[in-house]
Structure 1
Amino acid sequence: MADPVILVDRPAAHVARLLINRPDKRNAIDHAVRQQMAAALSALAGDPDIRALVLGGVAGVFSAGGDLPSMKGLDEAGARARMAHIHGLCRQIAEASLAIVSAVEGIGAGGAIGLALLGDEIVVGEGTRILFPFLRLGLTPDWGQLLTLPRRVGLPAARRLLIGGGPVDGAEAFRIGLADEVTADGQVMTRAIERASALAQLPRDALLRMNRRLEMPSATLSDELAREADDQARCLTGAEFNEGYEAFLARRTPDFSHL
């Protein structure tokens, strides 16, 4: 039986970790990786104990991106089927009720960066190399990156990154906002788990509502105030605010993990 291409473990309380396990291919993402990742995400979605997720790769490498040999020789129907499979996973990650931190160690390229951009936070190492090889391959960016990358770094910077192709090192990724933290190369996964643990302590419903409005900005102030009223009415009458208020009165740290 072949080794699984996605490894799942629980490195901290309320935190799950998915690792791409194709070290001989620098953790390139093919159909099997996507399929097993989708299955793992579905399983975790039904686990009330898991509140945050770390995405990474084995052998100190995040991922070299899409598996190029698997893209060659497709007809239009095959190309569309491939994209439909990718987009199903994109939606699953973007709509997950879990906070998601990506540990971008070693190399992060192409679709793998698109994967990371669909989550909440990105941790890189000082020696991490981020690449955007799409145009050099005669392709346009995928995995939603023409939406998610400009949101992160702004349109001019996103255009420069995609046209230049990289590599971008960890310090530069942090400077332009592509990464949330840069750390020593050997500490990337540790810090990603620590950040995921911190996110797991936050009120899940309030965090999801905040992120939803940040990711889909209102067109006008009136629209935003209406959405704000809807969200706050739910929050003010919910269990998370009750716990936060009781913790405030008792001068203790709130515990949202059981809600």
Structure 2
Amino acid sequence: MSTPVVLVDRPAPHVARLLINRPDKRNAIDHAVRQQLTEMLGALLGDASVRAIVFGGAQGVFSAGGDVPSMVGLTETQARERMRHIHLLCQLIAEAGVPVVSAIEGIGAGAAVGLALMGDRIVVGEGTKILFPFLKLGLVPDWGQLLTLPRRVGLPVARRILTDGAPVHGPQAHRIGLADTLVADAQVMATAVAQAADLALLPREAFARMKLRLNHPSTSLAEELAREENDQAVCLLGADFVEGHDAYVNKRTADFVGRPGVRR
């Protein structure tokens, strides 16, 4: 039986973790990895017990990015099919209604950085190296990075780091906003799991609606207020607000998982 190229486990309550498992290739992402990530993530997002996702790589390395040998010799049809396959996974991550945290241990390059940027939180270590090798290969940045990277770091910084080819080390990534949290190298994965466990306690409906609107900003105040009305009308009538209000009245911390304030 072949070794799975993606491992899945439950490292904390309500948290599922997906680890790219090609250590001999520094966890490079090929078609098989993308397919398994898509299938596993789709199944996890359909599981009501999963309230947060962690992405990482086996053996302390996030990923060296796209598997370059698998890109060679493609026809135009194959190249387009490859990109559509990538985009299915991108959309699944970006549109996940639960928090997504990426643990960039060791090296994160190219496609893997795009994967992380599709999520909600990025954790790096002091020794983490983030690489954007696209132009060196004669390729345009993909996995949505020409949208997601400037959103995180601003257009001038994104333009610079995409063109100068220099690695972005962990402390710099944190300083420019590419990463949310900087920790010692040995603490990257544990920190990502702990953050996911905390995020899993958020009210699921409200989080999903907030995330959708942040990812797809309104084009006018009128549009935003209309969307706000629709979202709040749903949330005000929902069980999470019943729990949140009961916790507020009784001066306790809201429990959006068990919902003790909801009368059944």
Measured against the shorter chain, the TM-score band is over 0.9
User: What corresponds to 1:54 in structure 2?
Assistant: 54
- Bigger drift between 213-222 and 181-190 goes to 213-222
Corresponding residue SS for 2:177:
coil
Write out per-residue CA displacement over residues 191-231 of structure 1, whole angstroms, 9 at most, x where no aligned residue: 00010001100001111111111122112222211111111
User: What corresponds to 1:17 in structure 2?
Assistant: 17
- Residue identity in the other structure for 2:142: D
> 5 Å matches for 1:127-142?
127-142=127-142
Please state how far the C-alpha of 1:187 moved relative to its aligned partner.
0.1
Please tell me whether residue 192 in structure 1 is matched to residue 192 in structure 2. yes
Please state how far the C-alpha of 1:161 moved relative to its aligned partner.
1.1
Gaps spanning 5+ residues in structure 1: where?
Answer: none
Corresponding residue SS for 1:179:
coil
Corresponding residue SS for 1:255:
coil
Corresponding residue SS for 2:59:
coil
- In structure 1, C-alpha distance between the alignment counterparts of 2:211 and 2:44, rounded to whole Å: 20
Q: Give the TM-score normalised by the residue count of structure 2.
A: 0.96
User: What corresponds to 1:110 in structure 2?
Assistant: 110
- In structure 2, C-alpha distance between the alignment counterparts of 1:187 and 1:176, rounded to whole Å: 21
Please state how far the C-alpha of 1:150 moved relative to its aligned partner.
0.7
* Cα root mean square deviation, aligned: 1.0
Please tell me whether residue 90 in structure 1 is matched to residue 90 in structure 2. yes
- In structure 2, C-alpha distance between the alignment counterparts of 1:212 and 1:19, rounded to whole Å: 25
User: What corresponds to 2:77 in structure 1?
Assistant: 77
- Bigger drift between 205-214 and 82-91 goes to 205-214
Please tell me whether residue 204 in structure 1 is matched to residue 208 in structure 2. no
> Aligned residues: percent identity?
66
- Bigger drift between 243-252 and 14-23 goes to 243-252
User: What corresponds to 1:238 in structure 2?
Assistant: 238
Contact 2:97 2:211 in 1 (8 A): no
User: What corresponds to 1:126 in structure 2?
Assistant: 126
User: What corresponds to 2:257 in structure 1?
Assistant: 257
Please state how far the C-alpha of 1:254 moved relative to its aligned partner.
1.0
Contact 2:102 2:192 in 1 (8 A): yes
- Residue identity in the other structure for 1:102: S
- In structure 1, C-alpha distance between the alignment counterparts of 2:72 and 2:235, rounded to whole Å: 50
- Bigger drift between 162-171 and 65-74 goes to 162-171
User: What corresponds to 1:229 in structure 2?
Assistant: 229
Corresponding residue SS for 2:17:
strand
User: What corresponds to 1:7 in structure 2?
Assistant: 7
How many residue pairs were aligned?
259
Please state how far the C-alpha of 1:258 moved relative to its aligned partner.
4.2
Gaps spanning 5+ residues in structure 2: where?
Answer: 260-264
- Bigger drift between 52-61 and 157-166 goes to 157-166
Write out per-residue CA displacement over residues 157-191 of structure 1, whole angstroms, 9 at most, x where no aligned residue: 11111101230011110111100000000000000
- In structure 1, C-alpha distance between the alignment counterparts of 2:222 and 2:165, rounded to whole Å: 40
Q: Give the TM-score normalised by the residue count of structure 1.
A: 0.98
- In structure 2, C-alpha distance between the alignment counterparts of 1:136 and 1:145, rounded to whole Å: 16
- Residue identity in the other structure for 1:202: L
- In structure 2, C-alpha distance between the alignment counterparts of 1:221 and 1:46, rounded to whole Å: 33
Contact 2:5 2:20 in 1 (8 A): yes
Please state how far the C-alpha of 1:68 moved relative to its aligned partner.
0.4
